[in-house]
Amino acid sequence: MTNYIEPVVLKTKKGYAILHESGLYFLDKNDDIAKYTAEISKKRRPELPIEREKREKLAKVVIYLSSNCNLRCIYCYASAGDKNSVVSVENAKILIDYVAEKADRIILDFHGGGEPLLYFDIIRHLVEYAKATGKLYRTVLISNGVIVGNKAEILQWIVDNVDVMALSCDGYPELQNKNRPHVDGKGSSTEIEETIRFFQEHHYVYTVRSTITKEGAAKLYEITKYFAELGVKYLVFSPCYNFGRSDDSNLVPDPQIYSENYMKAIKYAYENGIRLTSNSFRFPGYHYCGALSGFNIALTTDNYISSCYEVVSSEDKTAEAFIVGQIKDGKIDLFKDKIVDLKNIENSDSQCIKCNYQLVCRGGCPVKKVRNSKESLGNLCAITKMLVPKILDFLQENPNAASSVLKNVNLEYDNNIRN
């Protein structure tokens, strides 16, 4: 799949869209498709961020701080809070040193199967440790935004020290409280709103990531409007799928309902200066994510190294595919054959290789393929196939919306191609 270079021509309401690794191109109905397709096929795709990072010897260290969590999200892929394990600080330092020795710059990313900010002191300590290497380029933090401890101190530290901040919040209070309750069932909406308001008052740039359930899919416009009224400018929608706590539930969104309401949300977002993107539309890209590219090096709480953000321990049923190393007795052992095998996952689905939309989704989330939740994977695939034509029509009508809808896209229209 990564060697695919032929342009894909898709019909739109006003003409055609051509998908290619060099960019997204629009033509009118009367244009010579064969001529422009031939020209486009000769174009070189722009350097992707992950390729630039490799060239510049930029590497990422991901730390899964804990499996513990102060919320009990109804769909949590990691079933966070069911167990309580904490990362080894010494092993985290070993991994930071290992990567810093080989890279010119490092990204330190706190993520994983629990709530990182429950262990704020460890985060602060590891950030200072990484700074001392002289190579810390960026600090990334994913959080549910429900702060335990000295809230003002923690949030101010984030403003001062975290370069990329993502808050997990599903929308207006009724939905947030249902999807992401506390351990005792109490809602969490008031607390996440307080966090958002703190960031707004301090002019801090952050992203909100919303998991979209079956119920949420019918309310995407309302969710977007709610966040807009709070001042959110960067929003990501991620459709729920069956795994972890949602494995036996009916939370996966209906593709048609999701796609129709997503377009209502996109139009509102564009008109109100919000950048709204979706995991269902990742164009262009070379891989779906860093799990297959060798870019992710993530330390689990049981001292293994994972390439996937969702595989947070050696007990995960996909560990055989995504656990690529171990820290034992103070030494790092990378399973190099496993790293090579990861590339085969992307090429394992013949239906994806034949699909016109594979340049958009790159075959979808690799860990979901390995988990083989066929019903929910089919829904996620259907969402992409329904959403792409709608987004293409919208972009052809609204050229200036590209930066609000897509990431790293080179967008051209027929007059640009002719010139």
The answer to which of 316-330, 351-365, 387-401 has the lowest mean pLDDT is 351-365
Residue 135 has what pLDDT? 95
- How many other CB atoms are there within 10 angstroms of residue 160's CB atom? 9
Average pLDDT, the chain: 84
Convert the pLDDT of each residue in 263-277 to its tens digit: 999 999 999 999 998
Q: What's the pLDDT score for residue 3? A: 47
**Prediction pTM value:** 0.88
Q: What is the pLDDT of residue 412?
A: 47
> For position 180, what pLDDT does the model report?
96
Pairing of strands 323-328, 331-334: antiparallel
Average pLDDT on 381-401 reads 90
- pLDDT value of position 6: 77
What is the rounded radius of gyration, in angstroms, for the C-alpha atoms of the chain?
A: 21
Average pLDDT for 200-214 = 96
pLDDT category at 405 given cuts 50, 70, 90 is confident
Predicted confidence band at 350 (pLDDT cuts at 50, 70, 90)? Answer: low
**pLDDT of 419:** 31
Which residues, other chains included, contact 146 with Cβ-Cβ below 8 Å and sequence gap of 6+?
70, 71, 115, 182, 188, 191, 192, 195
Residues 6+ apart with CB under 8 A from 117: 123, 141, 143, 147, 148, 154
Domains belonging to the chain, first-starting first, are: 46-410 (3.20.20.70)
- pLDDT per position as a tens digit, 19-39: 887 778 899 988 888 898 888
User: What's the Cα-to-Cα distance from 213 to each of 208, 230, 294, rounded to whole Å?
Assistant: 16, 21, 31
> What are residue 106's DSSP bridge partners?
59, 136
Per the model's pLDDT, the better-predicted residue between 389 and 316 turns out to be 389
Structure tokens that stand for 263 in this block: 């377009």
| Tokens 């990362």 sit on residue | 87
Residue with tokens 């809070």: 81
Q: What's the burial of 150, exposed, middle or buried (CB within 10 Å: 0-12/13-18/19+)? A: exposed
Tell me the C-alpha distance between 18 and 105, whole Å: 36
Task: Say how many CA atoms lie within 13 Å of 75 toward its Cβ.
Answer: 24
* Residue 357 pLDDT greater than 60, yes or no: yes
Residue 264 pLDDT: 97
Q: 70-126: per-residue pLDDT in tens?
A: 999 998 876 655 678 899 999 999 999 999 998 999 999 998 778 999 999 999 999
**Residue 414: what pLDDT?**
44
Please, which residues bridge with residue 64 across strands?
111
**What six digits make up the tokens of 310?**
């969702």
Residue of 43, 40, 22 whose CA lies nearest to 31: 40
**What percentage of the chain reaches a pLDDT higher than 90?**
51
Selected residue with higher pLDDT from 283 and 208: 208
What is residue 246's DSSP assignment?
G
pLDDT of residue 2: 44
Instruction: Please say if the pLDDT value at position 410 is more than 50.
Output: no
Please, which residues have CB within 8 angstroms of residue 171's CB and are 6 or more apart in sequence? 210, 216, 219, 222, 223, 226, 227
pLDDT in tens, 37-83: 888 888 776 555 555 555 567 888 999 999 899 999 998 876 655 67
Report the C-alpha gap between 198 and 204 in whole angstroms: 9
pLDDT of residue 89: 97
Q: Work out the pLDDT band at 314, boundaries 50, 70, 90.
A: confident
The pLDDT of residue 151: 96
Residue 74 and residue 27 in contact, taking contact as beta carbons nearer than 8 Å: no
Q: What is the pLDDT of residue 46?
A: 59
Give the mean model confidence (pLDDT) for residues 150-166.
Answer: 97
- Under a CB-based contact definition with an 8 Å cutoff, are residues 391 and 281 in contact? yes
CA gap 196, 59 in Å, rounded: 29
Instruction: Give the mean pLDDT of 398-409.
Output: 74
